[in-house]
């Protein structure tokens, strides 16, 4: 049973079902993200202040960086980490606490910080290195990613097997699967998708993430952060690589070059009793996917003060 504390009216509001926060992933970023929360929430500002100490200029890159700057993996990941975690902390500031958490790709790292597995500064240091090593791999391997719609995951996996260096990597929902492949195979893969009645959409990302193209990044992270230990978590995080609760830091390294089992993660949350999903961070990509996976779920996004206030209102009026 999820509970929200309404400080203004001193009421304890209970809902039928549990609440999950889902943290936005790479591709959701945009110039100015997080500025409104930074200006109005002490907890959100704290996130950016910590980031600026470790990586000077991160907050200004979020607020004033160009679309091109923010699209570079080495910048995207640290900035999106802040925007995601700032939104979650602003919700916590209003005593909205989830029962479970998950993050899509990059979003998994701020999720681990919010869940208490890692201190914010340690998580941010990790994400800066993650961005660096994944960016290096992307530059070396020259891979691309396609979102395939209109075909089921098994069919997409079958098509990937028939194309050289092509892998299914993001299992988003029953009608959307993302594939990663080398540039030389891209046209061949797109043609096969079309021949089989699907549609392929080339993603605006700099590399073939969550595939063997990222093996070197995973290895470097594993070596550099071998001594990293989890704290006792306060909120369970479900891992991309397994769709189950996190069991150890090795999953942070494995996640980089393993598929994102998003549909299974959301289905497992539903089995755990989650009925309300709040996407924290820029955009509504994850709430859109969740609505396809669980049409009856209540989905909300929080990325600025307007959406935060709207979320508070929706939760107050939700079935309980």
Per-residue pLDDT of the chain (320 residues; tens, 9 = 90+): 454 444 444 334 455 679 999 999 998 999 999 999 999 999 999 999 999 999 999 999 999 999 999 999 999 999 999 999 999 999 999 999 999 999 999 999 999 999 999 999 999 999 999 999 999 999 998 899 999 999 999 999 999 999 999 999 999 999 999 999 999 999 999 999 999 999 999 998 888 999 999 999 999 999 999 999 999 999 999 999 999 999 999 999 999 999 999 999 999 999 999 999 999 999 999 999 999 999 999 999 999 999 999 999 998 877 54
Is the same domain home to 192 and 223?
Answer: no
Active site includes 105? yes
- DSSP-derived letter for residue 230 is P
Query: Which of the following is catalytic: 200, 206, 210, 211?
Result: 210
Give the CATH number, domain containing residue 295: 3.40.366.10
Is the same domain home to 93 and 21?
Answer: yes
Is the same domain home to 21 and 100?
Answer: yes
CA distance 212 to 214: 5
Is the same domain home to 135 and 32?
Answer: yes
Is the same domain home to 7 and 76?
Answer: yes
Is the same domain home to 117 and 246?
Answer: yes
CA distance 91 to 101: 13
Give the CATH number, domain containing residue 188: 3.30.70.250
Give the pLDDT of residue 15: 54
Neighbouring residues of 274: CB distance < 8 A, sequence distance ≥ 6: 17, 18, 19, 20, 99, 100, 297
Is the same domain home to 157 and 264?
Answer: no
Supply the range of the domain harboring residue 191. 143-202
Is the same domain home to 135 and 153?
Answer: no
First to last CA, the chain: 10
**Total domains present in the chain:** 2
Is the same domain home to 74 and 115?
Answer: yes
Question: Which ranges of the chain does DSSP label H, i.e. alpha helix?
Answer: 35-40, 42-54, 58-64, 67-71, 73-93, 108-114, 120-141, 153-161, 183-195, 215-224, 250-254, 262-271, 285-293, 305-317
Is the same domain home to 26 and 132?
Answer: yes
CA distance 89 to 304: 12
Where does a domain end: 202, 220, 250? 202
Structure tokens that stand for 118 in this block: 């890692």
Statement: the pTM of the whole predicted model exceeds 0.85:
yes
Is the same domain home to 158 and 266?
Answer: no
Give the pLDDT of residue 142: 85
Query: Which of the following is catalytic: 41, 59, 105, 206?
Result: 105
Give the pLDDT of residue 190: 95
Is the same domain home to 236 and 262?
Answer: yes
């Amino acid at each position: 049973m999820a509970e929200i504390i309404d400080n203004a009216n001193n009421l304890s509001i209970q809902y039928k079902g549990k609440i999950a926060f889902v943290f936005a992933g790479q591709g959701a970023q945009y110039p100015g993200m997080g500025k409104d929360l930074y200006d109005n929430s002490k907890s959100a500002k704290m996130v950016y202040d910590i980031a600026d100490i470790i990586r000077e200029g991160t907050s200004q890159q979020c607020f004033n960086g160009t679309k091109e700057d923010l699209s570079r993996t080495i910048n995207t990941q640290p900035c999106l980490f802040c925007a995601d975690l700032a939104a979650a902390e602003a919700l916590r500031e209003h005593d909205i606490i989830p029962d479970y958490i998950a993050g899509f790709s990059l979003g998994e790292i701020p999720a681990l910080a919010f869940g208490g597995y890692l201190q914010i500064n340690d998580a941010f240091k990790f994400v800066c290195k993650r961005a660096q090593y994944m960016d290096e791999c992307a530059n070396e391997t020259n891979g691309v990613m396609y979102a395939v719609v209109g075909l089921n995951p098994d069919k997409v996996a079958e098509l990937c097997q028939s194309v050289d260096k092509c892998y299914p990597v993001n299992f988003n929902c029953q009608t959307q699967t993302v594939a990663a492949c080398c540039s030389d195979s891209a046209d061949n893969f797109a043609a096969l998708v079309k021949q089989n009645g699907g549609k392929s959409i080339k993603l605006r990302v700099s590399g073939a993430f969550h595939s063997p193209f990222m093996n070197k990044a995973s290895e470097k992270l594993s070596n550099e952060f071998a001594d990293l230990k989890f704290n006792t978590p306060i909120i369970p995080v479900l891992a991309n690589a397994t769709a189950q609760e996190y069991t150890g830091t090795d999953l942070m390294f494995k996640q980089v070059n393993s598929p994102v089992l998003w549909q299974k993660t959301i289905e497992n949350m539903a089995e755990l009793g989650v009925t309300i999903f709040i996407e924290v961070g820029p955009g509504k990509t994850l709430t859109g996917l969740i609505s396809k996976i669980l049409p009856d779920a209540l989905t909300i996004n929080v990325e600025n003060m307007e959406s935060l206030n709207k979320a508070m209102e929706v939760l107050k009026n939700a079935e309980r």
